[in-house]
A = this chain, B = another copy of it.
Amino acid sequence: METPITPTEPPHTFAECTRVAVPMIQVLGRISGRWSLYVIMALMRGPMRFSELRRQVHGVSQKMLTQTLRELEEDGIVHRTVTPIIPPRVDYELTDMGRELQAPLTAISEWTERNGDRVARARERYAAAKGI
């Protein structure tokens, strides 16, 4: 019998191909928080201070940036360095693990590049069909 797919009770198979989908869900959840991916992408350019990060990631509120960074730090994707001077200085950088995200993110990016047009056309068709 096939393992049912559930978000609450861990192990289940991922097609006929891979396993580990629950942590995967959690990872995706983190990655795709409203701002996480943007922060990660910004940090892939190199280490950055809070204020610089805030300038890079347009539209993020200081509250959400802080929160996002805390979550990424909690997961060991981002490293936070506090220099206790006045005024305070805090630097952020990706950890090794964080940098390793580049491969999977690139894979998604490639899928997007290959299929972006098709998605757009699918949406148009859908909208048109709905209009009829």
Task: Show the binding face of A for B, using Cβ within 8 Å.
Answer: 2, 4-9, 12, 14-21, 23-25, 27-29, 31-32, 34-35, 37-38, 41-42, 44-45, 55-59, 73-76, 97, 100-116, 118-119, 121-123, 125-126
List, in ascending order, chain B residues with CB within 8 A of A24's CB: 37, 105, 108-109, 112
CA of A97 to CA of B109, assembled, Å: 14
Closest to A105 in B: B14
Nearest Cβ on chain B to A120's Cβ, whole angstroms: 8
Docked Cα-Cα span, A75 to B121, in Å, equals 8
Residue contact B14 to A34, C-beta cutoff 8 Å: no
CB <8 Å contact, B75 and A15: no
Q: Select one of B100, B110, B125 contacting A115, CB under 8 A.
A: B100
